């Protein structure tokens, strides 16, 4: 690993059943690929203790928690105070994932919007970055992010960004970050790659969203954090950089956004 550029998987789900009993091996394989840090995301508040335990058990694993928009209607609403309390943990580095998803769950859009605003308020209060899931909701997402930003600044990453150019511009104009997942490496994703290519490279993160969305050559198989290196190599191509340079830039970007993880490294 010593000659392999270090890189961070900024979004995965190590608590999902796909990884049951295998987390040690998966983290080890990630390290072999140069992936020395990962942020595992809790999407249902009842699972927070398990996700926290994973972060506590592995030095390079951090975590975030929130209510996924597709679960917002079936989960008990989370409060700002609950999220702020979780943020006291030293390895808790972000708020979410939260957001809007009208692809499968448009019937709960009102509940999703309320939940999103709660998470934004917690991000603003804690100073931790908001982690956004957006699908088939570009107009409402851009509107709410801008409205809330006018109420007070906050930091944000558009996780697994695969929306349109308009939402990308709206997010970048607010100073937010876009995260590349395996989707950006799919052969038919040239339009998405063009959106990333038009963005400032100092606003780009990389992620797996494991166990989902494995990049080539693993497409169709279970994804895992070590595979983020394949997405990052495609990202380097998109920006016309060599892999080591792109890896270094995305590392700096991650630490600028996820400041608590950066402080732990410094300590």
Tens of pLDDT, residues 104-129: 999 999 999 999 999 999 999 999 99
Task: Give the number of C-alpha atoms closer than 13 A to the C-alpha of residue 57, restricted to the C-beta side.
Answer: 13
Question: Count of CB atoms within 10 A of residue 225's CB?
Answer: 30
Let me know if residue 2 belongs to a domain.
no
Q: Domain range spanning residue 159?
A: 7-266
Let me know if residue 142 belongs to a domain.
yes
CB 80 within 8 A of CB 130: no
**Distant-in-sequence, close-in-space partners of 22: CB < 8 Å, separation ≥ 6:** none
Helix ranges restricted to H, the chain: 23-32, 48-57, 80-86, 102-105, 109-126, 138-150, 165-173, 190-197, 228-238, 243-257, 259-266
Take residue 4 and report the two structure tokens written for it: 């392999």
Model confidence, pTM: 0.97
Q: Determine the distance from the C-alpha atom of residue 5 to the mean position of all C-alpha atoms in its chain, rounded to a whole number.
A: 20
Provide the pLDDT for residue 2. 54
Which CATH number characterizes residue 256's domain? Answer: 3.20.20.140
How many domains does the chain contain in total?
Answer: 1
- Kindly report, residue by residue over 135-147, the tens digit of the pLDDT: 999 999 999 999 9
Question: How far apart are the C-alpha atoms of 73 and 78, rounded to whole Å?
Answer: 11
Let me know if residue 1 belongs to a domain.
no
Question: How far apart are the C-alpha atoms of 152 and 117, rounded to whole Å?
Answer: 12
Question: Count of CB atoms within 10 A of residue 136's CB?
Answer: 14
CB 19 within 8 A of CB 212: no
Q: Determine the distance from the C-alpha atom of residue 39 to the mean position of all C-alpha atoms in its chain, rounded to a whole number.
A: 8
Let me know if residue 79 belongs to a domain.
yes
Helix/strand/coil percentages in the chain, nearest 5: 50, 15, 30
Question: How far apart are the C-alpha atoms of 196 and 148, rounded to whole Å?
Answer: 24
Question: How far apart are the C-alpha atoms of 28 and 100, rounded to whole Å?
Answer: 34
pLDDT per position in the chain (267 positions), as tens? Answer: 457 999 999 999 999 999 999 999 999 999 999 999 999 999 999 999 999 999 999 999 999 999 999 999 999 999 999 999 999 999 999 999 999 999 999 999 999 999 999 999 999 999 999 999 999 999 999 999 999 999 999 999 999 999 999 999 999 999 999 999 999 999 999 999 999 999 999 999 999 999 999 999 999 999 999 999 999 999 999 999 999 999 999 999 999 999 999 988 766
Provide the pLDDT for residue 3. 79
Let me know if residue 29 belongs to a domain.
yes
Question: How far apart are the C-alpha atoms of 79 and 86, rounded to whole Å?
Answer: 11
Let me know if residue 115 belongs to a domain.
yes
Let me know if residue 244 belongs to a domain.
yes
Provide the pLDDT for residue 111. 98
CB 42 within 8 A of CB 66: yes
Let me know if residue 221 belongs to a domain.
yes
Please state the φ and ψ torsions of residue 178, each to the nearest 5 degrees. -115, 135
């Amino acid at each position: 690993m010593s000659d392999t550029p270090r890189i961070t998987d900024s979004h995965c789900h190590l608590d999902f059943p796909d990884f049951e009993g295998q987390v040690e091996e998966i983290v080890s394989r990630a390290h072999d690929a140069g992936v020395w840090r990962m942020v595992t995301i809790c999407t249902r508040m009842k699972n927070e203790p398990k996700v926290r335990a994973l972060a506590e058990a592995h030095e390079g694993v951090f975590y975030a928690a929130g209510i996924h928009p597709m679960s917002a209607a079936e989960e008990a609403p989370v409060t700002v105070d609950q999220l702020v309390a979780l943020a006291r943990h030293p390895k808790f580095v972000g708020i979410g994932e939260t957001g809007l998803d009208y692809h499968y769950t448009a019937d709960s859009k009102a509940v999703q919007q309320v939940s999103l605003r709660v998470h934004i308020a917690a991000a603003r209060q804690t100073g931790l970055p908001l982690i956004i899931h957006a699908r088939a909701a570009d107009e409402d997402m851009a509107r709410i992010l801008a409205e809330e930003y006018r109420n007070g600044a906050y930091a944000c990453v558009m996780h697994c960004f695969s929306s349109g150019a308009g939402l990308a511009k709206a997010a970048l104009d607010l100073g937010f970050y876009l995260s590349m997942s395996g989707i950006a490496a799919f052969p038919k994703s040239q339009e998405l790659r063009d959106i990333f290519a038009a963005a400032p490279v100092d606003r780009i993160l990389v992620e797996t969203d494991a166990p989902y969305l494995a990049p080539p050559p693993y497409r169709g198989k279970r994804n895992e954090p070590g595979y983020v290196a394949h997405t990052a190599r495609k990202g380097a191509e998109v920006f016309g950089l060599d892999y080591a340079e792109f890896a270094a830039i995305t590392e700096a970007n991650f630490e600028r956004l996820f400041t608590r993880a950066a402080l732990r490294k410094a300590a």
